[in-house]
Structure 1
């Protein structure tokens, strides 16, 4: 599924060549069947690869279809509702354009893409992210819950650098959680013996 080499890093993959979207998909060492991504369960290494692949594809998508920031804003990666929608759309695209797929599959993807664009517009309007600034998606506080922190807009200065920083923080947090998990397993195993 990924056309990035196994040793790709965040900084190596920021400037995608939009003409090479299919490069590597035929390589039997790189290609793998498309599969749904559960972002909640990815380990650090897989998350880095998936972030880079999705970012590259989203960049290709917005350029190919001339999508405005009201459909795909620069800080889409900071909003889970946009992440999940775009990730699902990417998977659908991979499946629709798979060489083994039925010839009408791309038409189905375009039909579903029209629906997805409407949902993306709704998500973008709800979360309030814009072309030049971003803010966390507002959360409705239910009775009995702690009041939400105030939400402030943050300017988007260098989108690519901010994406790299975000991914590096996500990967580091996942790696830390993995280490804590395995350290607890080691402690538990020590208590058993």
Structure 2
């Protein structure tokens, strides 16, 4: 349930969670299977929560970098942490659930630090996470850092591209359905 919203940590965050995007109970998110419409909602909701999290807990870029959304390892960890937080702070949950969340949050911060260090993303620049080339695979293209100039506009551009890619895949799938049987032709 996402209608339980924490009190803002400061005046800067007033109203940040006043209009939740999700009106359904929390559930695990499989980012690989989301429709374009669902992905847009989930991205925006997670982004708002990650912003709240980093401000509330004073997290450095070594734990949650500005371009976290470009790194699947950070996306999956933060998404799971968000779900855990939603469940821990659900009004129907028992009173010790938030302590469990904070214990798990400490573990998650260590994993996030490791992945941020491995990926090479920083406060002011980003690069794709390096991939190890296995024997027989084509060598990976050289990876270069790109500056992060305006994080919010880069997030919006990234999400728009992701949603467009998903919508294109959906359109292609539905274009191949046989109208009579509903099966892929």
Q: Which structure's residues are more often helix, by fraction?
A: 1
Pairwise mapping of residues 182-193 of structure 1 onto structure 2 (< 5 A)? 182-186=174-178
Q: Which of 94, 97, 113 is the matching residue for 2:86?
A: 94
In structure 2, the residue matched to 1:135 is 127
Residues 49-106 of structure 1 deviation map (CA, whole Å, 9 limit, x = unaligned): 0000000000000000000000000000000000000000000000000000000000
Equivalent-residue separation in structure 2 for 1:170 and 1:128 (angstroms): 22
Number of residue-to-residue matches in the alignment: 177
In structure 1, the residue matched to 2:41 is 49
Consecutive unaligned residues of structure 2, counting only runs of 5 or more, are 4-11
Alpha-carbon distance, 1:185 to partner: 1.1
Equivalent-residue separation in structure 1 for 2:158 and 2:133 (angstroms): 26
Q: TM-score, normalised by structure 2?
A: 0.89
Equivalent-residue separation in structure 2 for 1:153 and 1:186 (angstroms): 46
Alpha-carbon distance, 1:192 to partner: 9.7
Alpha-carbon distance, 1:31 to partner: 2.8
In structure 2, the residue matched to 1:162 is 154
Equivalent-residue separation in structure 2 for 1:23 and 1:61 (angstroms): 16
In structure 2, the residue matched to 1:149 is 141
Consecutive unaligned residues of structure 1, counting only runs of 5 or more, are 4-16
Contact 1:134–1:156 (CA under 8 A) maintained in structure 2: yes
Equivalent-residue separation in structure 2 for 1:162 and 1:188 (angstroms): 43
- RMSD between superposed Cα atoms in Å: 2.4
Alpha-carbon distance, 1:186 to partner: 3.5
Q: TM-score, normalised by structure 1?
A: 0.85
Alpha-carbon distance, 1:18 to partner: 2.5
Q: In the superposition, relative to structure 1, how do residues 138 and 76 fare at CA in structure 2: closer, same or farther (>3 Å)?
A: same
Equivalent-residue separation in structure 2 for 1:130 and 1:116 (angstroms): 18
Q: Which of 25, 38, 61 is the matching residue for 1:69?
A: 61
Structure 2 residue 111 is the aligned partner of structure 1 residue 119: yes
